[in-house]
Amino acid sequence: MSETIAYEPKQFFILTFAVTWTCWFAAPYLGDPIDSDLIFLMLMLAGLFTPFISALYLIVISKNNALKSLFFNKLFNIKYINWRTIALFLILFPASIIISVLISTLFGYSFDQFTIADEFSFSIGGIPTLLILLLAACFEELGWRGYAVESLTNKFNYFEATAIFGLLWSLWHLPMFFIPESYQAELLQENFILVINFFVSIIPLAFIISWFCKKNRGSILGAILIHSIINLTQEFFVVSPYTKCIQTLILIVIAAIFVIIDRNVFFGDAEKVRP
């Protein structure tokens, strides 16, 4: 008889939120976010690494060999990745931005949004923004797809698990709105509508990445690649934050199409990945 894989979703999310929020809320008060002193950098990175650390901690203390094997298979087994889906996302996300910009011009926004950005749209102290984007994709997905989503599927179907995760993933970013010069802080200073859009936009992304993961046998490496594509694509053009509200609507449509066309992924009894 194969060993049962048992997850602890409550412990994971409580631990992840408690540590991340403590680190990120404390960072601008205990450290210097403008000059990015060592205390600030350490707290910011600690919060960013927390989803992975939480997942790894719970996997290790579970003493469940099947769970450990599953995690490392999903992380390192390149055979899990369907490279055609990578190609799809290389087209999908740039296309969502291009279409959003074209629609925005109907409301008076400029075609100059197609200008290739010569710098990133935000910074956090002295941390290189490219490094932030890549580290975020890596350490978030190690936790999110390495443990979080799968833990929720023990009690919910894949659609429900993804919806719950999307909401929690969105709220996880809350402290970033109080980090000076962060992308989220700039949205808060600009218009509260943009803040709402940020939180809403993450939910369709959760569904899109969930669809991809199911098509790639739960590959964590694949999820990291997709998350990296999303992060870097969002910084490629000089796009108005209001145009990104339009992009959110497009992402909702894309997510809905995936759910409707591939219902078995979200509502069926698709076989879970085994080690």
CA separation (Å) from 249 to 16, 55, 275? 29, 32, 37
176-217 pLDDT, tens digit each: 999 988 889 999 998 999 999 999 999 999 999 999 999 999
119 is catalytic: no
Please check whether residue 2 lies inside any domain of the structure. Answer: no
At 273 the pLDDT is 47
Comparing 67-71, 119-123, 144-148, 171-175, the range with the smallest average pLDDT is: 119-123
274 domain residue, yes or no:
no
**DSSP sequence for 39-103:** HHHHHHHHHHHHHHHHHHHHHHHHT-HHHHHHHHHHHH-GGG--HHHHHHHHHHHHHHHHHHHHH
Residue 187 placed within a domain: yes
Mean pLDDT confidence for 63-81: 90
* Cα(229)–Cα(208) distance, integer angstroms: 13
In this prediction, residue 4 has a pLDDT band, given cuts at 50, 70 and 90, of: low
Domain that includes residue 134, residue range: 9-267
Assign 120 to helix, strand or coil.
coil
Q: For this structure, is 140 an active site residue?
A: yes
pLDDT value at position 22? 97
- Active-site residue, from 173, 181, 186, 235: 173
pLDDT exceeds 60 at position 270? no
Is position 79 within any domain? yes
**Cα 123–chain centre separation:** 18
181, 123 in Cβ contact below 8 A? yes
> For residues 230, 142, 207 and 164, what is the CA-based torsion angle, rounded to 10 degrees?
-130
Helix (H, G, I), strand (E, B) or coil at 127: strand
- 3 lies in some domain: no
Looking up tokens 């046998």 gives: 217
Task: Transcribe 166-231 into DSSP letters.
Answer: HHHHHHHTGGGGGSTTSHHHHHHHH-HHHHHHHHHHHHHHHHHHHHHHHHTTT-HHHHHHHHHHHH
> 119: helix, coil or strand?
coil
Q: For residues 230 and 133, give the distance between their C-alpha atoms in angstroms, rounded to a whole number.
A: 9
- Type of residue numbered 235: E
Label residue 169 by pLDDT band (50, 70, 90). very high
Residue 273 inside a domain? The answer is no
Percent of the chain clearing pLDDT 90 (strictly above): 65
Task: Determine the average pLDDT of the residues in 78-97.
Answer: 89
Residue 275 reports pLDDT greater than 80: no
How many distinct structural domains can be found in the chain? 1
- Does the residue 138 lie in any domain? yes
Asked whether 152 and 9 are in contact (CB, 8 A), the reply is yes
